[in-house]
Chains A and B, each alone.
Chain A
Amino acid sequence: MKNASIQLETLTCPSCAQKIENAVKALDGVDKESIRVLFNASKVKFSYDEAKVSVHDVENAIAALGFKVL
């Protein structure tokens, strides 16, 4: 398990945070309990299994929702 933190564009609605959380949760290899979307810092923190998923995959999943990954 490795920890990662992704910086996003400014998040404006708390429901965005929930959307992102659910989208990241849906990915296999991400520890569901560890996902934390920091609304104010506009960051996503999680731990993941390198063998199953990469940070890049998570970034793509978030970008597909229409949020810019910085």
Chain B
Amino acid sequence: MKRFILGRKNHIVLISAILIAAGFFCALALKNTAAADTAFIIASILGAAPIAIQAYQALRVRVVSIDLLVTIAVAGAFLIRNFEESAVVTFLFLFGAWLEQRTLTKTRSAIRELTEMAPESALKQMPDGDFREVAVEEVDAGDILLVKTGARIPVDGTVLSGEGSVSEAAITGESLPVLKGRGDKVFAGTVLDNGTIRIVADRVGEDTTFARIIELVEEAQDSKTKAERFIDRFARYYTPAVLVLGMLVLAFTRDPELAVTILVLGCPGALVIGVPVSNVAGIGNGARHGILFKGSEVISALSRVDTIVFDKTGTLTLGNPEVTEKAYFGEDIDRALVYLASVERESDHPLAGAVLDEIGDTVYRQVTDTEVIKGRGIIASVDGHRVAVGNAALMEREGVEPGTRAKTEIARFEKNGDSLVLTAVDGELKILMGVRDPVRPGAKEVLQKLKRLGVRNLVMLSGDNQGTVDAVGRELGLTEARGSMLPEDKAAYIRKLTEKGRIVAFVGDGVNDSPSLALADIGIAMGGGTDAAIETSDVVLMNSDICRLPHALGIARATAANMRQNIAIAVGVVLFLLAGVFFSEWMNMSVGMLVHEGSILAVILNAMRLLQYRLKK
């Protein structure tokens, strides 16, 4: 019976609307009060039934809900034979709830669109070698799958053969397709626009990047700010308090009309729902643009950021250094190049790759006694010669004295913003290479947008030499650029900024800057689906592109502002209603309920604006 009534709330709303219309028609046009009252009575009872059931169920689990306030108010109105009011109030309450459900579904649409991108089936290779269609749950890591044009990639995997362009919008929010071939990683939920590929499954089900993004966003949307937790606690006591207030008013004024009006006016609707609904819409907007916010606390902190610190490599620059200038000194350069290549081949330093690319194919020699000197370079033995490869500090340590020409070249390279790779063989400087990491296209515009958004300090930290860092800093228009910093220096620098009272966001690639990501008020990771980035940061830019950063900041600001507006609307409405009760003649239950439901819709509609939010050009 209960379920029958609750399941037909929508029908009840419709029927009571018709009954109320009929009632008013009888009363006003036909002047038939008896018929009008009959219609209102039926509408009241019909409408009150689901509300009363909900109130009772809540009471059984010890929750004093709004439903209870409304039930008592309606019962009160009914007892004082104000059938018109009881009918209108129940109708408005039910109709409001229906509208709220419809609009709330809208604010949550961004995340639902995401979950709907979840793959459902896969073409799996069976023991007999044929591919057969199976449900995605039946795919295990290690299985071989076929993906055809237009299909969703079912799991995280690696391409075994074939080639195709993949739209990764589900993961990165980026609409341009990416070309994938043998050895490339593909992600569940992305779509193969053309081509056919065979992949091996690496991660399936809840372990895929896609599933984890959804989980993260869902958790984030339900995380609560301090203010929100306060409101929740407040609401828990507020509702019973209104009930007590209503009884007190009845006891002192002996005016049941006023008492039930207080009950209706006291419903805490907009205040409770206003903040979460902004939050949901803001986080949803972010998810749609490839920005993951890990909670509402993150949004409010990011909205207040006044200092953004960038890790240079891989963030403002592409992270693919290349040799831009070189100079040779003395004889036997070919041999020195072979030694340089042999030593660099064993290093995983980012500059080593650039040097090897520059030298190209060569014959490598046996390298022994390798010693890595942190922050300086490498010393090793090749063919019985002592070879030192590193920066100027290493040369000094080795007692290598550059000649006059070398000195001018070193100065010139440094001024151009190059990182220096010097090679000395047996204490004699042979090769000087200048390596530069090109600035990311669009980085300059991003920084300008951030400035326009009112971020006062844009700082870049880097392990590269100061000359390099200055050159990039000038090119990009940063307020500060610091070089020669080890990861611990960067963390210490950030701590210093936060101690000064700045609200600091740190932007890094999440590879070796986790301390900084954790120390900053907001850690922003550029993570094309890397686990480390997702775990340690507060905000993840899914497509590894800082072009999303201004949008992230903009939506955070807009969301925070939206929450404040909603709180203002809610509090304003309560004050307005209270003033109405005490200072006006026209305030009654029906008006109170109308304004109350109207304010709830107002905060939801206000939050919905966030879904459309785009950064102004």
Contact = CB atoms under 8 A, between A and B. Distances in A.
Contacts of B272: 13-15
Contacts of A39: 222, 276
Interface in A29-70: 36, 38-41, 43, 63-66, 68
A66 to B, nearest CB: 4
Interface string A1-28: 0000000001011110011001100100
B218 A15 contact: no
B58 A40 contact: no
A39 B108 CA distance: 11
B276 A40 contact: yes
B306 interface: no
Interface residues of B, number: 35
Contact of B66 (A13, A36, A43, A66): A13
Given A12-B101, A19-B58, A40 B221 contact: yes
B362 interface: no
B140 to A, nearest CB: 20
B57 A15 contact: no
B87 to A, nearest CB: 22
Nearest to A23: B61
B174 interface: no
Interface in B1-24: 2-3, 6-7
Nearest to A41: B218
B9 to A, nearest CB: 9
Contacts, number: 73
Contacts of A43: 218
B57 A66 contact: yes
B61 A22 contact: yes
A33 B388 CA distance: 60
B273 A13 contact: yes
Nearest to B54: A66
B218 A12 contact: no
Contacts of A22: 61-63
Contacts of B236: 18
Given A10-B108, A13-B272, A18 B63 contact: yes
Nearest to B277: A40
Interface in B96-134: 97, 100-101, 104-105, 108, 111
Nearest to A68: B7
Interface of A: 10, 12-15, 18-19, 22-23, 26, 36, 38-41, 43, 63-66, 68
13 contacts: A10-B101, A15-B63, A15-B235, A15-B272, A22-B62, A22-B63, A39-B222, A40-B221, A41-B111, A64-B3, A66-B50, A66-B53, A66-B57
Given A10-B108, A64-B3, A65-B61, 13 more contacts: A12-B97, A12-B101, A13-B65, A13-B273, A14-B272, A14-B276, A18-B63, A19-B63, A40-B279, A64-B57, A66-B3, A66-B57, A68-B7
